[in-house]
Structure 1
Amino acid sequence: MSDIIIYIIVLIGGLIIGSFLNVVICRLPDIKSIIFTRSHCAKCKTKLSWYDMIPLFSFVALEQKCRHCGKQISWQYPLVELSTGLISILIYYLYGWTSLTIFLWIISALLIILFVYDVHWQLILDEILIPLLVVCIIYLLFFTSVDFVNKLYGAGIGMVVIALIYLITKGKGIGFADIKLMAPLGLILGWPKVMVALFFAFTVGALIGICLVKFAKKGWKDPIAFGPFLIIGFYIALFWGDRILGWYFGL
């Protein structure tokens, strides 16, 4: 099978998973509704047909409007689908068909849910965070031969850094859940890549915070979810951390 066909399959699979993640995001924390309730319009509650749920295509074909009530469909849906597809492709491109790829696809699905949920409701659900941590521990212990102590250092140092900032700022800007989020992120990255993740999390967070204050009329004291920035920093460190560290220590 040619590489192009494989990438197309991975992309389509990612888009489909992204569509399902949208369902999970909108219905959490009610697990039963995710499994037993058919997809419906968020505005008029009309049940959707299969051709209204084709990832990306339906959003474009319907011109961002519900077929039944005409209300606008949130940009969250295509953005989550596209992000999941692109991340799936990038993971496969970097790591090939390996157990690491499967693992990263699984944790990426969970991280995307946490990312969007935190943006919308400034809440990191334990219903997603705990399975994420369990998957990380199982993979690192039984499916890879990496230095687990190094991974523990990554988790511990990441959590301590966030905890110190949480204590210094008295929870303003960083929540206790962000400390917990650093456990699986630090386990995956280990030391010293966890520091790359933290650096970019704070850098991107500061830049976006300034932009929100300047252009979106946000106040300096208005709360902004920090979990998404930790996840952005995690992916930068995961994909390019070794190159960044090599460049830094080569200065």
Structure 2
Amino acid sequence: MHVLILGGTTEARALAGLLHDDVRVTSSLAGRVAAPRLPAGEVRIGGFGGADGLAAWLREHSVDAVIDATHPFAERISFNAAGAAATAHVPLLALRRPGWVPVAGDAWHEVDSLEAAAAALDGLDSRSDRVFLTTGRMGLAAFADRPEWFLVRSVDAPEAPMPARTEVLLDRGPFGLDGEREILARHRIDVLVTKDSGGAATAPKLQAAREAGLPVVVVRRPPVPQGVPTAATPEEAAAWVRKA
């Protein structure tokens, strides 16, 4: 059995580790990170050329099942995967870690896009001149015209366009609570902007913001393509593969 896992997420690597002793596993990474953490099994890096290119790859390599374990915000590849799997008549499962939910003490402002997140900075009740931006390096253009000072955290260095007043913090999760508290205090952060990536690796920043009484602008994740079944954990996804 040949399984294609899309994505370089923590869950994707865990799933590859669960499966590679029993089935042939190929993990496909987008190639956006310079030094990705490689999973067990075979690895390919780069795009497929859209849904048609992916469908052709599935046929050429006799793939029996596809797991979309990409980042929850990798909307384009998720829809390409759905189209390709339907064209090639290959079963598809989306592996999505549960999203975050606000708890008592949180001051969340939920929006549907990075552009809306940038606009939301104008409507915050508290002073918001110093922003901790943890949405990744690919969407900084949405904030390029903002006057605030931004601390941008990403794995690799971002490229223009980006806000004029930007300090870059190169780091890779998981992040601990003490470290997140220290960042908020040292940089005198007024507001946190993040995507609802879910999972535990980057969640401590939410607790640190809650403790500091900071507002948090949260970008909601896009939906999984219609008709695609989902699993919340690598273990659930591995069980689905073995039944496929």
Structure with the higher strand share, 1 or 2: 2
- TM-score, normalising length from structure 2? 0.28
Q: TM-score, normalised on structure 1?
A: 0.28
Higher relative contact order (CA 8 A, sep 6+): 2
User: Whose helix proportion is higher, 1 or 2?
Assistant: 1
